[in-house]
Amino acid sequence: MEQYKGKSIFKKMAIGKIFYYEKNQTAVKREKVEDVEAEAARFDNAREKAKEQLQHLFEKAQREVGETEAAIFEVHMMMLDDGDYLESVYNIIRTQETCAEYATAVTGDNFAAMFAAMDDEYMKARAADVKDISERIVNVLSGNGQNMAEMEEPVILVADDLAPSETVQMDKSKLLGFVTRYGSANSHTAILARTMNIPALIEVDIQKEWNGKMAVIDGYEGTVTIDPDEAYLNQAKAVQQEELKKQELLKEMKGKETVTKDGRKIHLYANIGSVSDTAAALMNDAEGIGLFRSEFLYLESEDYPTENEQFLAYKTVAENMAGKKVIIRTLDIGADKQVGYFNLEKEENPALGYRAIRICLTREEIFKTQLRAILRASAFGNISVMFPMIISVEEVKRAKAILEEVKAELRTDGIAYKDIEIGVMIETPASVMISEELAEEVDFFSIGTNDLTQYTLAIDRQNPNLDTFYDPHHPAVLRMIQKTIENGHKGGAWVGICGELGADIELTETFLKMGVDELSVSPTFVLPVRDKVRSLHL
């Protein structure tokens, strides 16, 4: 039995086998081979293994997102049998007497460049596909790590770090907990752990040899124990039983109003990042969706999601919520949420760079596509739209003008939509200082406390070395929130909090006394926050 210390993200226990995940960092080298036919056979074996992986992904996607979305994996399987592609790989192996990894990588690069240069948009899109299948074969050939699609049972995921683009592809029903070497308590991976109600540790000296071993994450003590003995295992199971009892008690909050003992009622909504998260929001009795992080539709796609793909996602959430409010935040790409096909330049300080509304206002076609999808979906439920990273009244006016243009286009096309509430995220000191003027332009504010804390304290929330300095309870942050609520109400806007701080029950009473109208939290925090609100007398 070995125990390792880390920094806890979520206080809970997890017991299960470890799945060690390695990022694709294969450096392909050109190596000479003696037996070219054996190397060609090695390539064929890897290709068959890649087909098996793709078949598994196709079946999973069919079950979870439907036939249309799963079709991409069928395309990839077909490309693995493409005669021209195969002939190129075999030719490089045989004529250059080189390894299969090199031949596959070169072929992938050559074909991707060829597709990208074509005029036909469909063929251009195949450039990313051929790169993807080539990287998959290279990974199989090199034995590089495990694919997340290979998680066949609930596991504890161990990795150096996890980017938002990696977390979206996980089968979340098979995650018991995270353990990472790097990361920050305020990263999107940490937010995901809290959303899913699973323990997570960062800053752990992880070992590749842990793969497949039994482990226990103790989120209370901030430890992970490898190969626990029977006594420790029984102790951990007893703690889990206590956790389940507490969860059962919280279920008594379902169906009850979020109201204090002296009659002060607030709205309690849930934050989601995907259509599938709606189930968790409903299961935990959220009154609505206070934040739909629409950028995750972009993160989990290999190309810009189409208007129809977005429309179906928003429509599904609106229908599932059956008339309850659904607030969709327009895409917040940039900073730590990078998407390759956006071709964003590398920035010295991406948190202060080209992101969110700044992308939308300078790439109007992307913005209009999303707004069309949101407006079309509004005909099927109670949808509102919210613009992130606002720093000026002019930005809001420009965004609203584009929204009006889209409405006019829909009317011309005879497509139904509803007039929807418009809101802005208050995430910067600039937006706080002009919040009274902003309130006159919109229907509501949603305070994003994660970024507001970052920008108020001048602390990069992704930097683990600064976690001890990152204090969301800082008086300056709380005064920013207070000022926003007061100014919002003066200007006629209702005010909510959708950042992680909204779920901090140490501050629930403070927020209610400030006059907040709504709290939007991760689904698993809805019932604990309701329990807290109902215990208060203001």
Closest CA to 402 of 456, 342, 362: 362
Closest CA to 174 of 336, 21, 52: 21
Q: From the CB of residue 121, how many other CB atoms can be counted at a distance below 10 Å?
A: 7
Q: Is the dihedral of CA 511, 516, 522, 527 positive or negative?
A: positive
Instruction: Decide: 51 and 190 in contact? Cβ < 8 Å.
Output: no
Return the DSSP state at 148. G
DSSP string, 161-192: ---HHHHTTS-GGGEEEEEESS--TTSHHHHH
Kind of pairing between the strands at 494-497 and 2-5 = unpaired
Q: Is 227 annotated as a binding residue?
A: no
**CA gap 166, 168 in Å, rounded:** 5
Indicate which residues carry an active-site annotation: 188, 498
Instruction: Decide: 400 and 360 in contact? Cβ < 8 Å.
Output: no
Q: Is 364 annotated as a binding residue?
A: no
Instruction: Decide: 397 and 334 in contact? Cβ < 8 Å.
Output: no
As a residue count, the chain comes to 538
290 burial via Cβ count (<10 Å: 0-12, 13-18, 19+): buried
Residues 6+ apart with CB under 8 A from 186: 450, 454, 461, 462, 467, 470, 500
**CA gap 495, 481 in Å, rounded:** 10
Q: Which stretches does DSSP call E strand in 417-476?
A: 421-426, 444-447
Kind of pairing between the strands at 7-10 and 200-202 = antiparallel
Q: Is 30 annotated as a binding residue?
A: no
190 burial via Cβ count (<10 Å: 0-12, 13-18, 19+): buried
**CA gap 203, 182 in Å, rounded:** 5
Q: Is 427 annotated as a binding residue?
A: yes
Q: Is 34 annotated as a binding residue?
A: no
CA distances from 22 to 25, 128, 148, 302, 410 (A): 8, 21, 10, 20, 46
Closest CA to 297 of 314, 280, 315: 314
Straight-line distance from the first to the last Cα atom of the chain, in angstroms, rounded to the nearest whole number: 50
Listed in sequence order, the DSSP H helices in 97-251 are 100-116, 121-142, 164-167, 188-196, 230-250
Q: Is 329 annotated as a binding residue?
A: yes
Residues making up the annotated binding site for Mg(2+) are 427, 451
Residues making up the annotated binding site for phosphoenolpyruvate are 293, 329, 450-451, 461
Residues making up the annotated binding site are 293, 329, 427, 450-451, 461
